[in-house]
Structure 1
Amino acid sequence: MGKLDRRAFMQSALAAGLSLTAANVLWSKAARSAPAKGGLFRAGLDDGNTTDSMDPATTNSRFMITMAHTQRNFLTEIAPDNGVKGELAESWETSGDAKTWMLKLRKGVEFHNGKTFDANDAVASLNHHRGEKSTSGAKSLLTSVESIKADDKNTVVVKLSSGNADLPYLLTDYHLVMLPADGEGKVSFANDAGCGGYVVKSFDPGVKATLERFKNYWKADSAYFDGVEYTAIPDVNARQTALLNNSLDAMIECDFKTVHMLERDSNLKVDEVPTGTHVSMPMFQDVAPFDNPDVRLALKYAVDREATVKMVVNGHGSIGNDHPISPIMPYYDGSIEQRAYDPEKAKFHLKKAGLENLKVDLSAADVVITSGVDMALLFQETARAAGIEVNVIREANDSYWSNIWLKKPFCLAGWGQRPTPDIIFTLGYAAGADWNDSHFKDDRFNQLMLEARAELDQKKRAEKYGEMQRILHDKGSVIIPFFRNWIYARRANVEHGDKLTSSWPLDGARGAERWWFAS
């Protein structure tokens, strides 16, 4: 429960042979690091949009992703070891073909509006993202769902048209928060009610949100702060200045180029976590000139990946190979030949495409990643050596996700790490998926996706995911130059556990729930 008894601690320390002075020193350190409640946690986030909404179906900014993990709960969650564990679902079991799942729900959980959470809420919350008229970013994750029903007050049964061994992981997707049902099978989010550790007191989209601890939160050893204040500060230098001036207690996304300066400040602590998060360069596969596979290969060979990792993230990442499975993820295929910067090969493919003097527009903004525009400008330089003219268009940060991504045929995009290959493939690469930002379509790829999803033999599953990675590497319409680390900073009096979750920055977007102020 995060509580220490000084008397018991001192007795144990003295019995172990420590002097009274040494025992007192150890007690002071232990007491300081023990979770304690209190204080206002002020965090600077990087991409709030004026179009942000409390409707989880519309969530696509990290401001709202962080909000989702602060005010609401999920059926399952990603643990600090990056495995999956129950949150509002205490346990689950599946049929032998992974087509039927039964989830047992936690009892005694209360929504912020006083309603008790039950199976009807879970059913309505999941169904909110389904149906022909749904525009939810999670819709493609649920396409194989045939039905979601309440078996009793605390049991939900999910039936699938095809097996999915990853369903518990899938349910951690940041859209799939639990909301109170309105009595007609729909969810209600008008009053911002969730059942997370904090209650929303005010919300100004794209600007700020304030929350206070929910007194009846079912997790007794979480949500230590009295209140939370999130401020959208797109400019990394402004966030850093606010942290240095003690106007913030934590900041998302440090500047890779200057983070070493923060590390030297005794009043701050910097956290770095390797991830599968990446910045991509999607090309609409059905729009010229990107509909030509040789053009896509030419653009891939025109990227200097090593220089990009060094310049954009200052070495805080690993080189990508034009598929979204990073070395830390399950089923990563390290046997695929690493694509290197090769202007001559790029020229070869351009000539093969009959486009030896290619000109393309590339939209970019720093909201995608700190130095995102610099990344685009570096690509402009390296592509020039291959005879490709890249016109970099600097787009506005505050409307990038609503006006540029999914709308412009060639742009920078940011993808957070997903826990399994199936989830990232389903969201971003399945034919017709709402977030298929490159309009990628390949029949063999889609066939393998269905087969691998239901495959229980791990060796066969690995082979299928390996082939899918090769298809994207060779024929895909997305350039993935690198995977980046999360680097964020906090005041020295902000404490957390030893293991940080890599799914999202600020400890899997759960810093407000898992962290505390040192006493």
Structure 2
Amino acid sequence: MDRREFLTRATALGVSAAGAYALIGATPAAADGHIAPGGTMRIQMDVRALKDPPTFDWPQMANVARGWLEYLVQYNRDGVFEPRLLESWEVNEDATQYVLNLRQGVQWNDGTPFTAADVAYNVTRWCDASIEGNSMASRMAALMENDQLRDGALEITDDHTVVLNLSRPDITILPTISDYAAAIVQDGFSGSPSDNPVGTGPYRLAEIEVGVRAVLERNADHTWWAEGTGAFLDRIEFIDLGQDQAAHVAAAEAGEMDMLYETLGDFIDIFDAIGWTKSEAVSANSLVLRTNQSVEPYNDVRVRRALALACNNEVLMELGVNGLGTVAENHHVCPIHPEYADIGPAVYDPDAARTLMEEAGQMDFEHELISIDDTWRRPTTDALAAQLRDAGFTVTRTIYPGNTFWNDWANYPFSSTDWGHRPLGVQNLTLAYTTGAAWNETAFANEEFDTLLAEASAIADADARSEIMAQIQQIMIDEGVVIQPYWRSIYRHFTDNVVGAETHPIFEIHVHKLGFAA
């Protein structure tokens, strides 16, 4: 296995980061140069309305809230799971019990101590499927019964120790609680954290205006548990300049910006040319072009498979993201995932596509293909529409601005959606395709798939897990669940004096790491 895969596997199952690095004779990446305390950093990023953390559905929400809401575990760009509000964790041999050892001496910014009761409260909420939009519930099945936390699934053994007792083995627990929807709130809190910003982190929310900007300021009234190891800046401004990257270039050239959230397409070369530093992340970030199986004619597998057979994924990658990525295979498991199974490329066969569509009696059906209006999702979807027309299908395009598109993203009959990186292949499959999951936009419901995925999630050895993953991936293809053309390489640019801003595979911005070089 490669270095990244080893670090992810080892730290997820309880090996300390230092221990994992030592085992391969490596050292963690260090910050470039000394960081000068103070200053204001200006970051280009969409500013979205915050909501109850278990319902966070965008990294941008978490990036703002990270100023005061922290996580039990942090997933770093090199694949390591780093303890934050946890000091350490222990996992038994078959991954049915997790012992979470909380960091002592941590306080909420209202002066009360952080204890095991806070963690128990968050786990209980993560397991509450009645919370609308709670994506954590689909990932916590081994702790749940009847859509709630199972009796006996959680024990508080003292103020700083929580034990999770799973009903079946599950290796995804640590990766799941590092995800952006797992921000830790205080016992009893629910709702938008912008309304009552109580947290353990070093910053306070000074301002938030959706679509305009959000501002974090160093919280001088709060003693942060990691004082002296981060939170170097006095002020962080997230500035929303919209989707047009030409506006981002103009702001950069005018000296109004220090860092981008993401650089796309031709603008990668432009930011290189103006002298900004470029960072690239290995990522399983992707786009899926999917049908909703609850809507006719997409409840017919022949129609779904016909659409997939009409598509050349390599062309979609070239036209959508300038070829900056890796061709994908229509099953949403990436070659960088430890359990990926190579079952061959996606098949491109327009003649077979027409035959299937004719068998389904849907050659005359008019497909409305919906996408957001931007610089990569829109052209990818445009290219798909062109390929479907070349195969003889009738397709109209509907393009919505961002706010309109995301209001109803999970319910469109036929549309494109971007999906973020997750450390393990089983994670996105659980989030997006298990029966009844909050983010299951395809309405895919397949008992064999669900059973195999639960079985795969219980196997710690990635090679053994890969054998089951091959079956799961084949089901995705046979059922025509998605057209998934590529895995994106992701980029971020920043000025040469910015430290701690390297691109993260899930677009996380760890605000406590940011600063300016001395």
TM-score normalized with structure 2 length: 0.86
SS of the aligned residue for 1:338 comes to coil
Change (3 A) 1:467 1:97: same
Change (3 A) 1:307 1:187: closer
SS of the aligned residue for 1:165 comes to coil
1:501 Cα deviation from its structure 2 partner: 6.0
Change (3 A) 1:476 1:118: farther
1:65 Cα deviation from its structure 2 partner: 2.8
1:115-154 to 2 correspondence within 5 Å?
115-135=112-132, 136-145=134-143, 146=150, 147-154=153-160
Is this contact kept in 2: 1:357–1:387, CA < 8 A? no
1:25-44 to 2 correspondence within 5 Å?
33-44=33-44
1:405 aligned residue = 409
2:19 aligned residue = none
1:167-316 to 2 correspondence within 5 Å?
167-182=173-188, 189=193, 190-215=195-220, 216-219=223-226, 220-235=228-243, 236-266=245-275, 268-316=276-324
Q: RMSD in angstroms over aligned alpha carbons?
A: 2.2
SS of the aligned residue for 1:275 comes to strand
1:259 Cα deviation from its structure 2 partner: 1.6
1:254 Cα deviation from its structure 2 partner: 1.7
1:36-75 to 2 correspondence within 5 Å?
36-46=36-46, 48-49=47-48, 52-75=49-72
* Residues 268-309 of structure 1: per-residue CA shift (max 9 Å, x gap): 112222310101112112221111111111111222322221
**Alpha-carbon distance in structure 2 between the residues aligned to 1:301 and 1:39:** 54
**Alpha-carbon distance in structure 1 between the residues aligned to 2:442 and 2:430:** 13
1:433 Cα deviation from its structure 2 partner: 0.5
Q: Which structure 2 residue ranges, 5 or more long, are not aligned?
A: 1-29, 144-149
Instruction: State the AA in 2 paired with 1:137.
Output: S
**Alpha-carbon distance in structure 1 between the residues aligned to 2:288 and 2:167:** 32
1:340 Cα deviation from its structure 2 partner: 4.3
**Alpha-carbon distance in structure 2 between the residues aligned to 1:121 and 1:396:** 39
Is this contact kept in 1: 2:371–2:399, CA < 8 A? yes
**Alpha-carbon distance in structure 2 between the residues aligned to 1:96 and 1:450:** 18
Query: Which residue, out of 418, 440, 456, partners 1:452?
Result: 456
User: 1:95 aligned to 2:99?
Assistant: no
User: 1:517 aligned to 2:511?
Assistant: no
Is this contact kept in 2: 1:93–1:101, CA < 8 A? yes
1:240 Cα deviation from its structure 2 partner: 2.5
SS of the aligned residue for 2:118 comes to helix
**Alpha-carbon distance in structure 2 between the residues aligned to 1:456 and 1:271:** 32
**Alpha-carbon distance in structure 2 between the residues aligned to 1:391 and 1:264:** 38
1:155 Cα deviation from its structure 2 partner: 0.5
Is this contact kept in 1: 2:281–2:505, CA < 8 A? no
Instruction: State the AA in 2 paired with 1:504.
Output: I
Change (3 A) 1:457 1:419: closer
Is this contact kept in 2: 1:358–1:387, CA < 8 A? no
SS of the aligned residue for 2:414 comes to coil
Is this contact kept in 1: 2:31–2:499, CA < 8 A? no
* Residues 402-435 of structure 1: per-residue CA shift (max 9 Å, x gap): x231121211111110111222121111111011
SS of the aligned residue for 1:202 comes to strand
Instruction: State the AA in 1 paired with 2:247.
Output: A
Query: Which residue, out of 157, 168, 189, partners 1:162?
Result: 168
Is this contact kept in 1: 2:332–2:484, CA < 8 A? yes
Is this contact kept in 2: 1:304–1:341, CA < 8 A? yes
1:265 Cα deviation from its structure 2 partner: 1.4
Instruction: State the AA in 2 paired with 1:414.
Output: D
**Alpha-carbon distance in structure 2 between the residues aligned to 1:409 and 1:53:** 27
Instruction: State the AA in 1 paired with 2:357.
Output: L
1:496 Cα deviation from its structure 2 partner: 3.3
Is this contact kept in 1: 2:334–2:425, CA < 8 A? no
Larger radius of gyration: 1
2:344 aligned residue = 337
1:361 aligned residue = 368
2:83 aligned residue = 86
1:448 Cα deviation from its structure 2 partner: 0.7
**Alpha-carbon distance in structure 2 between the residues aligned to 1:111 and 1:366:** 41
1:18 aligned residue = none
Q: Which structure 1 residue ranges, 5 or more long, are not aligned?
A: 1-29
**Alpha-carbon distance in structure 1 between the residues aligned to 2:353 and 2:313:** 14
**Alpha-carbon distance in structure 1 between the residues aligned to 2:38 and 2:190:** 36
**Alpha-carbon distance in structure 2 between the residues aligned to 1:31 and 1:130:** 37
User: 1:472 aligned to 2:476?
Assistant: yes
Change (3 A) 1:483 1:456: closer
**Alpha-carbon distance in structure 2 between the residues aligned to 1:214 and 1:425:** 39
Is this contact kept in 2: 1:63–1:232, CA < 8 A? no
* Residues 430-457 of structure 1: per-residue CA shift (max 9 Å, x gap): 1110111101111111111111122244
Instruction: State the AA in 2 paired with 1:159.
Output: N
**Alpha-carbon distance in structure 2 between the residues aligned to 1:386 and 1:441:** 28
Change (3 A) 1:163 1:239: same
Instruction: State the AA in 1 paired with 2:301.
Output: P
1:381 aligned residue = 386
Query: Which residue, out of 303, 309, 331, partners 1:323?
Result: 331
Which stretch shows the higher mean deviation, 289-298 or 454-463?
Answer: 454-463
Instruction: State the AA in 2 paired with 1:79.
Output: N
* Residues 295-352 of structure 1: per-residue CA shift (max 9 Å, x gap): 1111112223222212221121111111221121211112x12114332222122123
Query: Which residue, out of 414, 421, 424, partners 1:417?
Result: 421
**Alpha-carbon distance in structure 2 between the residues aligned to 1:273 and 1:447:** 33
**Alpha-carbon distance in structure 1 between the residues aligned to 2:192 and 2:273:** 47
User: 1:390 aligned to 2:361?
Assistant: no
Is this contact kept in 2: 1:203–1:210, CA < 8 A? yes
**Alpha-carbon distance in structure 2 between the residues aligned to 1:397 and 1:264:** 29
Instruction: State the AA in 2 paired with 1:37.
Output: P
**Alpha-carbon distance in structure 2 between the residues aligned to 1:142 and 1:359:** 40
2:104 aligned residue = 107
Is this contact kept in 2: 1:94–1:100, CA < 8 A? yes
Instruction: State the AA in 2 paired with 1:81.
Output: D
Is this contact kept in 2: 1:323–1:472, CA < 8 A? yes
**Alpha-carbon distance in structure 2 between the residues aligned to 1:211 and 1:186:** 21
SS of the aligned residue for 2:187 comes to coil
1:186 Cα deviation from its structure 2 partner: 6.8
* Residues 48-99 of structure 1: per-residue CA shift (max 9 Å, x gap): 44xx224213311332032243432111111232132222111112334422
SS of the aligned residue for 2:402 comes to coil
Identity of aligned residues (%): 27
